[in-house]
Chains A and B, each alone.
Chain A
Amino acid sequence: MALNILIVDDSPVMRVFLRKVVQLTGLPVGEYCEAADGEAALNVLHERWMDLVLTDINMPHMNGEEFVRRLERDEMLRDIPVIVVSTDSSRERVDRLIKLGVRGYISKPFLPETLRDEVEKILGVRHV
């Protein structure tokens, strides 16, 4: 069954990079959706189901931490797996996000295969 992936980052080129990394997994992706901030991402999630969300933290309008907090409070959305991909890897931030239910945390810069492996681990598949 094809998966739907939501990529949330205010940088259009970073969204391209993240999409290429997900493609490394070889997973059947039905739809890639994109959003430039947490608010736009919530709008997408209220319209269609996503199997995985990759999100940045530092974004305008609504940052990634607030976005994750809103997901956690929403019964319909809280079980969607979220991987944070961010420049901030402070213990404090990571702990807060894990408590909010984030399943994975990748610190920028990262090797593409690091995120690929994290996506595979969280979705319970392995390409090789």
Chain B
Amino acid sequence: MSERVLKHLLAPALDDVLEMMFFSEAFGPCELDPSADGLEANVAFAGETSGSVGIRISEASARCLAASFLGESENALTGPQIAQVVCELTNMLCGCIVSKMTPHGCFNLDSPELLCRQREQSKDTSVIQQSFAIEHGTLTVSLWLSASE
């Protein structure tokens, strides 16, 4: 599957996850902001295709989505709850992307990993990446495929 085709899987996968379980939406692609702060999480997958999916999300957006998911007010949420929701968002997004990439193949996902340290913007040219404008900020989705793909 070409990089262009893979990149075009990211938006519909994100739309499905945000609309169905977070009652929210992406407003379309936007420019990557290397200085953007926020929460980052990653999920590795293995199967017919292997690799990982990561997200970086603005803190305000993460709080908003966490409140929607849990049906709580934003100011009632704790940091750990928000982090757990970001992990679950990454988990579902990874599953959705991998299902679209390999609709007939079986796959396993590792547990989501919250990244405690802000990584430098990836210089890895094999990463497929897209930023999206969402409520109160941005969400960047990154897809890495293992070298054999």
Q: Which residues of A contact B (CB under 8 A)?
A: 10-14, 16-17, 20, 58-60, 63, 86-93, 107-111
Interface string of B93-130 (1 = CB under 8 A from A): 01110110011111111111000000000000000000
Q: A14-B88, A88-B99, A92-B105 are in contact. List 6 more A-B contacts (CB 8 A).
A: A13-B85, A88-B95, A90-B102, A92-B104, A108-B91, A109-B16
Q: Which residues of B contact A (CB under 8 A)?
A: 16-17, 20-21, 66, 69-71, 81, 84-85, 87-88, 91-92, 94-96, 98-99, 102-112
Q: A13-B69, A17-B70 are in contact. Are A87 and B99 (CB under 8 A)?
A: yes
- B85 contact set on A, CB distance < 8 A: 13
With A and B bound together, what is the CA distance between A15 and B29 in angstroms?
31
Q: Is the CB of B20 within 8 A of A11?
A: no
A-B contact pairs, 15 of them (CB 8 A): A11-B91, A12-B84, A58-B109, A87-B91, A87-B92, A87-B95, A88-B95, A90-B99, A90-B104, A91-B104, A92-B105, A109-B16, A109-B20, A109-B21, A109-B92
**B108 smallest CB distance to A (angstroms):** 6
Q: Is the CB of B84 within 8 A of A13?
A: yes
